[in-house]
Structure 1
């Protein structure tokens, strides 16, 4: 197949779309991606990538989108600029594609570029939805009663309705698209995200000098670090010499998170590493006792399955989490760790204390994690499913 991929984000930005595209190429498909200049998550241009290049067999076309920068106005222009500029690149294309695949993160507006191609060439648009809209607006404190939210609801419903098929990352997303966006369930299914195979190189679990709990990913409000800090503050000081919490990543909530840690005098426990490339994470994961997974409560976003869950499982470590929904069920089904309800800092504190007193379960969790990943979340399984759906649409 000749596949046109629409995604505002692409390598070196920290999303899995480039792995998907490269695997599709390995299977004999011809893949072209229309994306933006890399600038996520810090908002500054990540230099070194030309506007046109062949990257591991994938033809990559970068649009000159407005960078996210560090303010709300720039973010809005960033969101608006991509579909406009992607449309211009579509007009320049010198070949016709069999299907359009959209790797839909925020904003939903990126799908408009795919719908433009559909209108011109009468090709099917297949969306893999990773961010719900307008639900994602709640992360920036826009309520359902806000006029902007209501406008975006109408726009989102219209965009999703014009797509030919939408796969989502979790059952909670399925329910949202049916009930809020009013999309016919016959146009929807669930395909879980894959995890990175590179983390199969993480060495088997070994007991550390300290219980080293690692979080790796975006540091945003929805990750609910307030719950983590409050949980650690509940732990008696006598345990602090045996506890280490490693935070790898960056994001909009990073400064506030660090201030909260300092205010509660927990500097000796927390170790902020900063953002690292995927290939740089293995040494940190080798020294990890188990991973942390958390999302805020009372939100459809909080019921999703963070992609880091698959990553954690592939790295072969146990997982503790303050998280609801399918993610908690997967951890339970895999026998890969312990969870409590999202936002329940007292319960999370008890889990950490329990493991500080008895680390014997950690090796069992580690073995179960990797086994579950291999059986359920490899990229081969993911590509099998999306390829089948594309062929059906073609």
Structure 2
């Protein structure tokens, strides 16, 4: 097939922005012709990378891909106005000067994050008459409300109404809609997307970064005894990640249970408060260590040296249908998970036997899960890590995701049900 990829985020941007590029190369390796429409790289700090001066459009070749970049307003800060300008400028540029790169293709995969891709998606579907697979990676506008970017009640109500109308139009435009979690699929159906054009296609991890490793040399750096279970949280230290519950659970850890180390890697607005809480701990058998920001090149060794990885989200309606990207990254790394998230994420961990779960918002439940992990010991946690990777390979790998998307696109081009 001749396939288009439309995504505001793309290589060489890091983190989750790498996932559309992984899909593009995976499709090309399977013999498909792939063309990409994207912006100029400015994620995650809103600064355009060296070597990419912004122009109305720029065409380039990356191995087996044809890539067109179009102008945008670079920004990724906390300003709602500047963030909106970033999203909207890409949507307009992609529709006006970018979409023609897809001329002559069979179908186009579209990342719906942000929702302003609806404008170029409409041109592709209506003016160019190409089938469009819209992949819902974020549940808009719910994610904006959860992040509290907009604080005014009146502004929030207006935003919700406007984005819902936009979404309904965008979903009607798409030939098929895929969701990254079963819960999001159910919500989309409740919002008017017919079950016949809806499917569940979970995202994959950045498999070049997250893969199994036996390197545990970082334990010696941290003076961690060889038999002690170590818990790792790596990421942003914000309210949404519920790391405060992890620190509180450590403070309540029973004195008679096996000793554990807890490493917290990253930075954010909650760091000072988290450090203050950790310093108040009177649990003699728990060491909470703050690692600060760890360079990307060193992160794999830190992740490999830990025995179990903590993933948490603040308890709200959106979290029950969210699959945090850390879930796939941890499973790809063959590590078990200490999970404080309800809904779809918990079902995945429980079904795979990939770790321990606790009710979100409950420090006592998380303390009990910590005790379970410590009692299990490092060899048993290693076995659970293998189960985690097995489930990843089966359900969440790039190969599995590419196959699902390939089948849907093939169905759209042939007229068969996806």
TM-score bracket, normalised by the shorter chain, equals 0.7 to 0.9
**Correspondence for 2:34:** 31
Q: What is the rounded CA distance, in whole Å, between the counterparts of 1:388 and 1:151 in structure 2?
A: 33
- 1:168 is aligned to 179
CA contact (8 A) 2:37 2:94 kept: yes
Residue 213 in structure 1 maps to residue 231 in structure 2: yes
Q: Is 1:63 aligned with 2:64?
A: no
Q: What is the CA distance between 1:388 and its match in structure 2? A: 0.8
Larger Rg: 2
Distance 2:348 2:93 in 1: 40
**Cα deviation per residue 1:133-191 (whole Å; 9 max; x = unaligned)?**
12112123356962222221111222122211011111100111111x31111110112
The yes-or-no answer on 1:188 pairing with 2:206 is: no
TM-score by length of 2: 0.83
* CA distance, structure 2, for counterparts of residue 59 and residue 357 of structure 1: 53
Q: Deviation of residue 217 (structure 1)?
A: 4.3
Q: Which digits, 9 at most, give the CA deviation of each residue in 1:202-234, with x for residues without a partner? A: 128899635332234455543233333333343
C-alpha change, 1:36 and 1:230, in structure 2 (3 Å) is: farther
- SS of 1:126's equivalent in the other structure is strand
CA distance change for structure 1 residues 56 and 280 in 2, over 3 Å: closer, same or farther?
farther
- Alignment match of 1:118 (pick from 106, 119, 125): 125
Tell me which of 161, 164, 167 is aligned to 1:153: 164
Which consecutive residues of structure 2, in runs of 5 or more, have no partner in the other structure? 281-286, 414-418
CA RMSD of the aligned region, Å?
2.8
Match of 1:263?
Answer: 276
Q: Which residue does the alignment assign to 1:313?
A: 331
Which of residues 362, 368, 388 is equivalent to 1:369? 388
Paired position in structure 1 for 2:416: none
Matched, 1:78 2:86: yes
Determine the C-alpha separation between the residues in 1 that align with 2:269 and 2:161. Answer: 30
Q: Return closer, same or farther for 1:367/1:231 CA change in 2, 3 Å cut-off.
A: same
Q: CA offset at residue 13 of structure 1?
A: 3.0
Cα offset for 1:240?
A: 11
SS in structure 2 at match of 1:102: strand
Partner residue of 2:108 out of 85, 97, 100 = 100
Partner secondary structure for residue 293 of structure 1: strand
Distance 1:86 1:219 in 2: 34
TM-superposed CA distance for 1:345, in Å, is: 2.1
Structure 2 CA distance for aligned equivalents of residues 110 and 219 of structure 1: 30
What SS does the aligned partner of 2:15 have? coil
- Change over 3 Å in CA distance of 1:246–1:47 after alignment to 2: farther
Structure 2 partner of 1:379:
398
Cα shift at 1:193 = 2.0
- Residue 318 of structure 1 and its aligned partner are, at CA, apart by 1.1
Give the 3 Å change call, closer, same or farther, for CA 189–382 of structure 1 in structure 2. same
The answer to whether the 8 Å contact 1:223/1:296 transfers is yes
**Preserved CA contact (<8 Å) 2:131 2:412:** yes
Shift of 1:362: 1.3
Greater Cα shift, 22-31 or 199-208: 199-208
Secondary structure of the 1:246 match is strand
Alpha-carbon shift at residue 201 of structure 1 (Å): 4.0
Q: Contact 2:313/2:340 (CA < 8 Å) preserved in 1?
A: yes
1:153 partner SS = helix
CA deviations on 1:308-357 (whole Å, 9 max, x unpaired) are 21221121111101011121111111111100122222211232244335
- Matches of 2:408 and 2:83 in 1, distance apart? 33
**TM-score, normalised to structure 1's length?**
0.88
State the SS of the aligned residue for 2:139: coil
Name the SS for the 1:324 alignment partner. coil
Total equivalences in the alignment: 386
> 2:283 is matched with which residue?
none
Q: Indicate the SS of the match to 2:377.
A: coil
Structure 2 residue matching 1:213: 3-state secondary structure: strand
Q: Distance in 2 between matches of 1:94 and 1:322?
A: 43
Q: Secondary structure at the match of 1:359?
A: helix
* Whole-angstrom distance in 1 between the partners of 2:85 and 2:402: 33
Q: Distance in 2 between matches of 1:386 and 1:351?
A: 36
Partner Cα distance (2:292, 2:303) in 1: 13
Query: Aligned to 1:195, what secondary structure does the other structure show?
Result: coil
Structure 1: gaps spanning 5 or more residues: 249-253
Any residues of structure 2 matched to 1:316-331 within 5 Å, and which? Answer: 316-331=334-349
Match of 2:242 among 224, 229, 240: 224
* Structure 2 SS opposite 1:42: coil
